[in-house]
Amino acid sequence: MAEQGNRARRWVLLGAGGALVGGFAIREYRLIPQNYAGVQITVSNAHQQAQEGAVYLIDIRTPREWRSTGVGDGAHPIDMRRDDFVQALDRLTGGNRTAPIALICARGVRSARLSNQLTEAGFSNIIDVPEGMLGSAAGPGWVRAGLPVNGYKEDT
């Protein structure tokens, strides 16, 4: 009887350990940005170019993230999960799919993935900001670089 209990406990522990390892693997995969062969710029350059009107800087994070950290000065907050994301970009750029569009997220993972998707969708001048707002292996990020942020106000 005790032996059956020990076996059952071992299987439960092995199953829990497997689930834990699998969870970490999925988390790590989600945190690894895809390779993006296009142009990449630093947060400082993204800020400067947005201020000069040389790029459309798009903060693709969620409203919760915008409320938490603010939106980078000069950036347009457009949640990448919107069903009409591409249409929102087209409205912003006047339908010019050759316009320079720089994408920023929290740590460069979502921006790299979306950069690839938008390039495949026919946008020819997508720029990735791999540092993101919070920093990554590419650099300290917008917030730690001390670049200005604006509070997020939801549309009413």
- Tens-place pLDDT, residues 26-85: 544 444 455 676 889 999 999 999 999 999 999 999 999 999 999 999 999 999 999 999
Mean pLDDT throughout 88-107? 96
116-152 core/surface letters (b: 16 or more CB in 10 A; e: else): bebeeeebebbbbbbbbbbbbebbbbbbeeebebeeb
29-66 core/surface letters (b: 16 or more CB in 10 A; e: else): eeeebeebeeebbbbeebbebbeeeebbbbbbbbeebb
Half-sphere exposure of 10 (CA within 13 A, CB side): 6
Rounded Cα gap, residues 8 and 39, in angstroms: 54
Mean pLDDT throughout 87-103? 96
Residue 15's pLDDT band, with cuts at 50, 70 and 90, is low
Is residue 141 over pLDDT 70?
A: yes
At residue 39, the pLDDT reads 87
Is residue 4 over pLDDT 80?
A: no
Residue 23's pLDDT band, with cuts at 50, 70 and 90, is low
| Percentage with pLDDT > 70 across the chain | 76
Rounded Cα gap, residues 49 and 82, in angstroms: 25
Average pLDDT across the chain, whole number: 86
C-alpha dihedral over 93, 54, 118, 76, to 10 degrees?
-70
Rounded Cα gap, residues 100 and 123, in angstroms: 9
At residue 155, the pLDDT reads 63
